[in-house]
Structure formats: structure tokens, C-alpha cells
Amino acid sequence: MNVITSTKYLQYLQLLQENRLTKIVKLEFLNSDGSVAFALSNKQKRGYNTKHQSSAFIQSGTLNVSLQNGIRRKATITLSNVDNNFSYNVNNIWFGSQIRLMMGTKLFDNTEIYFPQLVGYISNPSSIFNTNSNTITFPLVDKWTYLDGSLNGTLPNAVSIPATTGKENALFQAIVNMLQRSLYTGGYNTTDNPVSISEKVDSVPPIFTNYYKGKTYIVGGSEETIVYKTDIPRNLINQGGSTISKVILDLNDIVVGLVGYDQTGAFRLEPSESYIDDMDKPVLWHFTPENSHLCSIKDTIKMSEVYNDIIVVGETTTGAQVWGRATNRDSQSNTNVGSIGLKTKWVQNNSYIYPEQCISYASYLLKKQSVLRNSISITCSQMYHLNENRVITVKRTDKRDSPIEKHLINSFSLPIGESGAMTINATSINDIPIMSTTSSAEGGSK
């Protein structure tokens, strides 16, 4: 079992600081219940299962991670397949094989620490044989591919999710129901008709934010009604031929969340509001020119993609228009309206039926679009504990007074082999604007 204790983690950070990491990589081929069937490493080691006693080992590859709703993690891994034990056929590695990729280092006492990077499925493998080598390449894609139809196909029948009022976490339960559907019958997991672990679309329990706990909207009308933010405000119907991911994204639209699979293979729903509150997130690494990890920084000015005024328009269940608007009028921001003029982006999404939903999404988009002006690309030595949507700092000795700038990781690329630098793409969070917001709930025009 891979347990990262605080002692091991501190040793890893010390070795990283001293630039003394000895890279180790492991591929764990998983059973349907998540247990390990057998494993391969970047050394010539034998597997755990006699069926796969093999001299094959991990030769090369790249992991790519990006913050988005949907597929976040992809990797391409090449194995030295000297004895053909990992050829892609039904007797060896086959459709639906789930694999965990981990990277780490040996510690001072020669014990090992591994950080999970991806749990996913094989997609479109290829084999190469010549007189000098025999390799097989596995493109791995995270578990979202079992939701979006890439590997699991589309829904055979329509899916109807009824509206709820005053039922907190109804939205979360609807997502759980979709993730625990049977792969074979399409039936839902219930007390009367339980779906076994091996049958479920995803057997790992999803992780939902506590941010929305107790949060409500007050809906006007002849009588004011209080509804939970995690209520389902209108009937959601997806016809046959749709996908599980489409159903989940429709549900996620209601709370304006961030959804995807994390490095451990768990489905997560986090609030976009936490994206706005980046200043409070822990810093995963401090880059300075004094340590040997920072190789280069490339600043990118993306003025064509900058907006400082976001209008999000929705529609109530009766067909009335609702809207929310977020504007950057912060005099300290380089992209405020007073500095570059009003650059408006209009977004229509009829999934939003409350003004508060429109404001939440407008604020999220405004933060993203405002800070695009200050984006950086960092080339550095490899490290294995970084994750998307988390914070790093960079000491900019190339600027006056050597400021320490906080940046949010949007994406990164990490070699799977022992050599090669990693690349991190991030946006500044020192420039988060102080927003002014208005909505249709306040009356008046946009």
C-alpha cells in the first residue's frame, strides 16, 4: 500500500530542495475493485502476477495535466515489450484495463515514496517491432473517458432527472446515481437492486465540496420560496444517445462547479468560487533563481483574450430572462475598465434560472479572463507533488524589488522518463480584481 506519511513527505521535500531525487515510476494494473493485479516499474522488475512474469519495463512517456471540466489527465507511456507479454489482445492487456500511474523517489533510508498522477484507461495502443527493440505504447486517458462515450459508448435510453425543492444535495445524489449505474444493464444502484463494484461505471466514491452546505436562494413570486443551491431547479432530460458526462455537466451547470478526476482517480466537484479565492490556498512550491529547480520563465501577454466585463444570461422555468454581471473596475488591476476600456463578453446559458447563478459564473469567468494578461510558462526540474488548481510562487529577480508572485497552476507537462524538464503553465493571482456585480434581481437594465 502506498501511504504518504508526513515524515516521508518532508524527506521528499528535502531531497527535492537539494536536487537529489532518484526518480522511480510505477504502473499498477488494477482489478475492477481497485486492487492491484500486477505492476511494472521503470526498472526491469517482475510483476506481482505469475500470468505477467515479464522482463518488460517502462521506457519513456509524458504526462499532461490541465484544469478543465472533463478530461484533465493524459499520458503516453512506452514499455519495452521484449517478451510480448503486454501485447494488446484479450489474453493480455485489453479494452477497459484500468491503470494507475505513480511517480516518486527513494528516500534517505532507501524506502520509496510514490505520488499518484493518473488513474485511467488504455486508448488506441500501438506496437513497434524491429531487430533492435520491441515496444508497445499505451495512451492513457483519465476516467472521464468512461463518461463521455469515448470508451463506454452512449446512453441507450433517455435519462430523466426530476426537479426538487427543499432537498439539499439532490444534485450530488443524482451524480452519484449516474456514476454507480451498471455498465452492463444501465440500471441504477439501489437497495432493492444493488450494483456490484465490478459492474459500476465508477466504483470509487466521488468527492463533493462542502462549500454549498446550507446555502440557499430566495426565489420570488407570489410567495417567496427558499431553495438549496444543490436543489435541481428544473426537470433535466437527456435523450438516448447522450452520454453520462453530458448529464453530469448539465447538473454541474446548476452550481457552476469545477468537475473532473483528480490524481487518485476520484471524481471531484469543487466550487468555482474556490477558484476565485486562490489567495487562501497553500503554496506547493517556492521557485527562486537561487535553487536549481527553476530553469526559465516565459511571460505571455494575452491581451486579445482579456475581458473585464462579463454578462451571463439565463432563463427561469417560466421563460423569463435572468442575468448577472461582473465588471473589473479595480484601479489596482492592469485590466480594469478605466485602463483598457470596456471589453464585454456575453454568455448565454439557460441552465441558470437564478440571478445568483449568473453572478457566480460571471465572477468566475471575469477572474479567469482578467488575469490572462499575466500568464507564465515555467521550465524546471521534475517534481511529483504538484496539481492543477493549486498555487506556486515565483521570485522575480528580473523585476524591480524582486517581487514574489503567486500563480495558479493551469496545466503542466511532466516526463515519465528519468531525464527531461517539466513545464508549468500558470496565471498570476496577485492581479485578482475587486469585482463589482449587478443582476436582474436588483432591477434595472444591464
DSSP 182: B
Total Cβ atoms within 10 A of residue 398: 9
Cα–Cα distance between 78 and 270 in angstroms, integer? 33
Cα–Cα distance between 293 and 283 in angstroms, integer? 16
- One DSSP character per residue, 326-354 reads EEE--TTSTTSHHHH---EEEEE-TT--S
Cα–Cα distance between 357 and 195 in angstroms, integer? 35
Strand partners, 236: 161
Cα–Cα distance between 83 and 134 in angstroms, integer? 8
Task: Specify the 3-state DSSP secondary structure of 17.
Answer: helix
pLDDT digits (tens, 9 = 90+) for 231-275: 998 888 888 889 999 999 999 988 888 999 999 999 999 987 655
DSSP 210: S
Q: What is the pLDDT along the chain (446 residues), one digit of tens a residue?
A: 678 999 999 999 999 988 899 999 988 888 777 788 777 777 654 443 334 444 556 778 899 999 999 999 999 988 776 555 555 444 455 556 788 999 999 999 999 999 999 999 887 655 554 545 677 777 899 999 989 988 777 888 889 999 888 888 999 999 999 999 988 888 888 888 888 888 889 989 999 999 889 888 777 655 667 788 899 988 888 888 899 999 999 999 888 889 999 999 999 999 876 554 566 678 999 998 777 577 778 877 667 778 899 999 998 878 889 999 999 998 878 788 988 899 999 999 887 888 888 888 898 888 877 766 667 888 989 999 999 989 999 888 878 888 888 888 999 999 998 888 999 998 877 666 778 888 887 766 67
Cα–Cα distance between 272 and 229 in angstroms, integer? 14
Q: Specify the amino acid at residue 174.
A: A
Q: Specify the amino acid at residue 31.
A: N
Provide the percentage of residues in the chain whose pLDDT is more than 70: 84
Cα–Cα distance between 269 and 258 in angstroms, integer? 6
Provide the CA 314 distance to its chain's centre, in angstroms.
26
**Element at 177 (helix H, strand E):** helix 170-179
What residues contact residue 372 under an 8 Å CB cut-off, 6+ apart? 302, 305, 306, 427
Cα–Cα distance between 137 and 135 in angstroms, integer? 7
pLDDT digits (tens, 9 = 90+) for 204-215: 999 999 988 988
**Cell numbers at residue 9, please?**
513527505
- Write down the pLDDT at residue 440: 85
Cα–Cα distance between 107 and 18 in angstroms, integer? 12
Residue tagged 500470468 (cell numbers): 51
34: closest CA among 261, 178, 203? Answer: 203
